[in-house]
Chains A and B, each alone.
Chain A
């Protein structure tokens, strides 16, 4: 442990360096991806890169404020921040502006704000505060449910605003629950449901439940000692059937058409080559173009501002969700690998720092930060490279957008503030 870190400004410079590297590199990629027509000025606010530069200055200001506020403030005011966040989400139903089908924005003059980006850190703060409360025992089921409601409330509000991608991010807070000691079977159950779900969609509920039936029969047959658990096995089997058919039902009735198509494409459900071609032209058009751009980058890329597919706007939404395809095209395998490694290092660093904290609040919050960053990293880059179905969420620090950048800056820097303070206060 570093003994010299005794003042309140002993920041973890490794994290800060990675943060700066990501944000600066991100800015240049936005510059490349959104540079259309005549280049006038870096501060041209009619262009995304101009706005992003202003957002960058804004996040510098935010960092200053976060670091100068007393560390205890965040724990003390976690509930209020959370409450404010929930209210702002509810307010969207009244005064929200719809962009791309999602009602996630407030508009002030020319500026739009997306409260869901800020709900992430407030939820993480509130969850940390709740779990670290002396009266909370996370191993107790009632407390588990309360904590889950704390996370679920903003998640559901966001889902109702038709922003399913952001809702998924809240699911990543499961890692926090798990780290803090919820029973092991939650994880087993989660993995089981995931496999069951994918299998159901890929091979249909009937096949899946028959397959589980066969597995359980074999289990009964060969392990005779457990005859007395017959009832449990029947119960597991019935649950599986319900779950399997439930997943299928939910997929058919609950998901929207484009979501079904994206998942269908990912699981390669469509066998008819003609329809598949049509799907490739429509549903996975973005993905195709994005993969093509990344592929064309080769080992070393085409160079900054020289990506032909980026310049020609071949990848729609390139400066927002698909920003990683710019990295792939212009900076090639080496540049992209460096970005991936930077993300991995940042997340691991935060996990590492969190584990060192004696204060439960800071540790849980750190875990929350790492989980949220991980979810974004996994979903965004995975989607852009075609590894997971298309889910529209931004890549932290890279994607264009003020709310996103500020949300992530606040998320990370509150933790760094807590971290810088861990020795001298508690």
Chain B
């Protein structure tokens, strides 16, 4: 016993120590992560964000330096506050507020006192800044918009919020991230990859040199430049025409699916979201609940398509062989259907209507008949409806298009089960859902879907997924954009429908919108719409909708226009479509009178009606 006491204790101690080491270094220790070591400071180097060009190579978005005034509170010495505030152009109490905020964050670490000084302010300040100890300027790069148009397309960048940071560990507090439009769709290409330097810190937070001589450091990879499909002049013109109106224009090149312009009205100058006034401007835009300028109406405003939808009803009926181009009916300005002799009004003027004149005069009766025949084709309405729904969906309706735009809506194209669910007890039939025949009822589309559908008609049976990207420097764009998507309609059925659309301009509802020298095919649309005022559903003035493509042979442009509460299709949407087509095809506009009328027209009164709190009439102006 006397001989082994020390012996035993030494061994016991050794075992305890190894056990403790095991606990600390194997059991408790996570794998060593350089990024989580508080002895290592990571300094990021931000690459240049990619520029954005339009389809004609004119620069839309570049970068500019911006200057943040930084402060390290502990290093600040007593200063002439009044003079400093004058230099910064802020009030003294604001200065104290910002300063105390910085001090609360950390007295030792630098924080932003005043972000995004302009070049002029910076020049003025930089000469005098060395008098103020503890303050310095940090340069960073923000967007510089070379244009005042296309805010909805280009989007904007902002500091990453906690949601962005949680989603992607690449982003750190203070990093900039694309928030809308192309900036978000192509964020990974535009941003590049930031470089990182690992710096060994000591206990006092001082840098004492590169970690492992910089073996893990990376260089920033610059962001790539983008070329987008937007035609700036057309875009600018569209925004001009849409001023004082709410709505959207989507123009597509049918042979490629490239989006020529994507107007959302009202828009805003993208430069508003850069610089010191950014958050004030953003709040103002964000809070405008009537016009919603931050919402891209061409992409997300769902509405009933109205009459342009009749084109698809006709194509489907032709494909299902329930009508032919010869089929005609007599319209007595109403369509009577069902056991209870319900009626659907028609404003085509009445008389004999075949497919061609039914399109050009937008005859409700004719399309009610065509739709009814399609749904009655099989004994089971649900099956017929599925069949019909598949045809319609092959035009890109009722689902996301799979495009490269940051926002979108599916819209709605009902199928058999949709109504089976709606009418579980009741045997529904074509007459139950007859409103769908004229693009009302349960059909919902967005303007871009309307434009895409028209592109499929213009191409006689296929479309390319609409997209905003033209090319990326040193990189290919999504190959999916080059694959044509076929519709389920036989190409031979398109010609009669296109003729009908052509006659819309020749003699029909858009005959006063002709553009000299350009053969346009179009279709007017008028969609009823409702809002809730104090919980009561109330009808508003109809939306003005128009789809068109031109020229008739080898179409170059397809356009869909939505002017909210514009009363009827040809009235505003049609005019705008004609002007846009002329602008794009001829390069200049000869319809000066029409242009003046459109530009000067404001629908502001119409938009304020539901907010006025007073009773109002609709479709009266």
Using a CB–CB cutoff of 8 Å, the interface residues on chain A facing chain B are: 36, 175, 178-179, 181, 187, 291, 294-299, 302, 306, 308-309, 311-314, 316, 328, 332-333, 336-337, 340-341, 343-344, 347-348, 351, 355, 367, 370-371, 374, 377-378, 381-382, 385, 387
Q: Given A314-B203, A370-B6, A374-B9 in contact, is the A385-B20 Cβ separation under 8 Å? A: yes
When distances are taken between beta carbons in the complex, the residues of chain A under 8 Å from B201 are 312
CA distance A317 to B32 in the complex (A): 24
B24 touches A328 (CB 8 A): yes
CA distance A378 to B212 in the complex (A): 34
When distances are taken between beta carbons in the complex, the residues of chain B under 8 Å from A308 are 37, 39-40, 200, 211
Q: Given A308-B37, A381-B17 in contact, is the A348-B7 Cβ separation under 8 Å? A: yes
Nearest 7 A-B pairs (CB), nearest first? Answer: A344-B14, A308-B39, A333-B25, A312-B39, A312-B202, A340-B17, A298-B29
CB of A387 to closest CB in B, whole Å: 6
CB of B559 to closest CB in A, whole Å: 62
CA distance A371 to B212 in the complex (A): 42
CB of A334 to closest CB in B, whole Å: 9
* Interface set, chain B 182-202, CB cutoff 8 A to A: 200-202
Q: Which of A294, A312, A387 contacts B16 (CB 8 A)?
A: A387
When distances are taken between beta carbons in the complex, the residues of chain B under 8 Å from A381 are 17
B6 touches A302 (CB 8 A): no
CA distance A17 to B46 in the complex (A): 54
B14 touches A336 (CB 8 A): no
A175 touches B22 (CB 8 A): no
Q: Which of B25, B26, B32 has the most CB of A within 10 A?
A: B25
Q: Given A378-B13, A385-B21 in contact, is the A179-B26 Cβ separation under 8 Å? A: no
CA distance A298 to B201 in the complex (A): 21
B6 touches A175 (CB 8 A): yes
CB of B203 to closest CB in A, whole Å: 5
CA distance A328 to B26 in the complex (A): 12
CB of A367 to closest CB in B, whole Å: 7
- B5 at the binding interface (Cβ < 8 Å): yes
Interface of B is mostly: helix
- B28 at the binding interface (Cβ < 8 Å): yes
When distances are taken between beta carbons in the complex, the residues of chain B under 8 Å from A294 are 21, 24-25
CA distance A371 to B29 in the complex (A): 33
A297 touches B25 (CB 8 A): yes
B10 touches A348 (CB 8 A): yes
When distances are taken between beta carbons in the complex, the residues of chain A under 8 Å from B9 are 374
Q: Which of B6, B13, B28, B202 contacts A351 (CB 8 A)?
A: B6
Q: Contacts A36-B208, A306-B212, A351-B10 known; list 17 others, CB within 8 Å.
A: A295-B25, A296-B29, A296-B32, A296-B37, A312-B202, A312-B208, A313-B202, A313-B203, A314-B202, A333-B25, A337-B18, A340-B21, A344-B14, A347-B10, A355-B3, A367-B6, A370-B10
CA distance A367 to B9 in the complex (A): 13
CA distance A351 to B2 in the complex (A): 12
CB of B486 to closest CB in A, whole Å: 59
- B31 at the binding interface (Cβ < 8 Å): yes
When distances are taken between beta carbons in the complex, the residues of chain B under 8 Å from A179 are 2-3, 5-6
A298 touches B26 (CB 8 A): yes
When distances are taken between beta carbons in the complex, the residues of chain B under 8 Å from A297 are 25, 29
Q: What residue in chain A is nearest B32 (Cβ atoms)?
A: A298
CA distance A387 to B15 in the complex (A): 13
* Interface set, chain B 117-170, CB cutoff 8 A to A: none
A302 touches B24 (CB 8 A): no
A374 touches B26 (CB 8 A): no
B25 touches A336 (CB 8 A): yes
Q: What residue in chain B is nearest A336 (Cβ atoms)?
A: B21
CB of B431 to closest CB in A, whole Å: 75
CA distance A341 to B14 in the complex (A): 7
When distances are taken between beta carbons in the complex, the residues of chain B under 8 Å from A175 are 5-6
When distances are taken between beta carbons in the complex, the residues of chain A under 8 Å from B40 are 308
When distances are taken between beta carbons in the complex, the residues of chain B under 8 Å from A36 are 208
When distances are taken between beta carbons in the complex, the residues of chain B under 8 Å from A178 are 2, 5
A299 touches B208 (CB 8 A): no
CB of A162 to closest CB in B, whole Å: 26
Q: Given A295-B28, A387-B20 in contact, is the A311-B10 Cβ separation under 8 Å? A: no
Q: Given A296-B32, A312-B202, A355-B3 in contact, is the A332-B25 Cβ separation under 8 Å? A: yes
When distances are taken between beta carbons in the complex, the residues of chain B under 8 Å from A302 are 32
CB of B353 to closest CB in A, whole Å: 83
When distances are taken between beta carbons in the complex, the residues of chain A under 8 Å from B212 are 306
Q: Which of A291, A308, A332, A381 has the most CB of B within 10 A?
A: A308
CA distance A382 to B16 in the complex (A): 9
- B608 at the binding interface (Cβ < 8 Å): no
CB of B445 to closest CB in A, whole Å: 59
Q: Given A297-B29, A298-B26, A385-B20 in contact, is the A312-B203 Cβ separation under 8 Å? A: yes
- B173 at the binding interface (Cβ < 8 Å): no
CA distance A314 to B13 in the complex (A): 27
CB of B99 to closest CB in A, whole Å: 27
When distances are taken between beta carbons in the complex, the residues of chain A under 8 Å from B21 are 294, 328, 333, 336-337, 340, 385
CA distance A296 to B29 in the complex (A): 6
Q: Given A175-B6, A181-B2, A385-B20 in contact, is the A340-B25 Cβ separation under 8 Å? A: no
When distances are taken between beta carbons in the complex, the residues of chain B under 8 Å from A340 are 14, 17-18, 21
23 A-B interface contacts by CB (under 8 A): A178-B2, A178-B5, A291-B24, A295-B29, A299-B26, A302-B32, A308-B37, A311-B200, A312-B208, A314-B39, A314-B202, A314-B203, A328-B21, A328-B25, A333-B21, A337-B18, A343-B14, A351-B6, A370-B6, A374-B10, A374-B13, A378-B13, A387-B20
- B11 at the binding interface (Cβ < 8 Å): yes
When distances are taken between beta carbons in the complex, the residues of chain B under 8 Å from A382 are 13, 17
CA distance A374 to B29 in the complex (A): 28
Q: Which of A179, A297, A333, A341 has the most CB of B within 10 A?
A: A333
Q: What residue in chain B is nearest A332 (Cβ atoms)?
A: B25
Q: What residue in chain A is nearest B13 (Cβ atoms)?
A: A378
CA distance A309 to B40 in the complex (A): 9
When distances are taken between beta carbons in the complex, the residues of chain B under 8 Å from A351 are 6-7, 10
When distances are taken between beta carbons in the complex, the residues of chain A under 8 Å from B37 are 296, 308-309
When distances are taken between beta carbons in the complex, the residues of chain B under 8 Å from A347 are 10
Q: What residue in chain B is nearest A370 (Cβ atoms)?
A: B6
Q: What residue in chain A is nearest B212 (Cβ atoms)?
A: A306
Q: Which of B11, B26, B211 contacts A344 (CB 8 A)?
A: B11
When distances are taken between beta carbons in the complex, the residues of chain A under 8 Å from B5 are 175, 178-179, 187
Q: Given A298-B29, A312-B202, A343-B14 in contact, is the A385-B2 Cβ separation under 8 Å? A: no
CA distance A311 to B207 in the complex (A): 11
CB of B250 to closest CB in A, whole Å: 56
Q: Given A181-B2, A313-B203 in contact, is the A385-B17 Cβ separation under 8 Å? A: yes
When distances are taken between beta carbons in the complex, the residues of chain B under 8 Å from A299 are 25-26, 29
CB of B253 to closest CB in A, whole Å: 57
B25 touches A309 (CB 8 A): no
Q: Given A298-B29, A333-B25 in contact, is the A311-B14 Cβ separation under 8 Å? A: no
**Proximity bits, B437-468, A CB within 8 Å = 1, else 0:** 00000000000000000000000000000000
CB of A211 to closest CB in B, whole Å: 26
When distances are taken between beta carbons in the complex, the residues of chain B under 8 Å from A337 are 18, 21
Q: Given A309-B39, A367-B6 in contact, is the A385-B11 Cβ separation under 8 Å? A: no
CB of A347 to closest CB in B, whole Å: 5
CB of B492 to closest CB in A, whole Å: 73
CB of A101 to closest CB in B, whole Å: 21
CB of B74 to closest CB in A, whole Å: 19
CB of A294 to closest CB in B, whole Å: 5
When distances are taken between beta carbons in the complex, the residues of chain A under 8 Å from B202 are 311-314
CA distance A371 to B6 in the complex (A): 8
CB of B418 to closest CB in A, whole Å: 59
Q: What residue in chain B is nearest A327 (Cβ atoms)?
A: B21
CB of B111 to closest CB in A, whole Å: 23
B200 touches A312 (CB 8 A): yes
CA distance A332 to B18 in the complex (A): 12
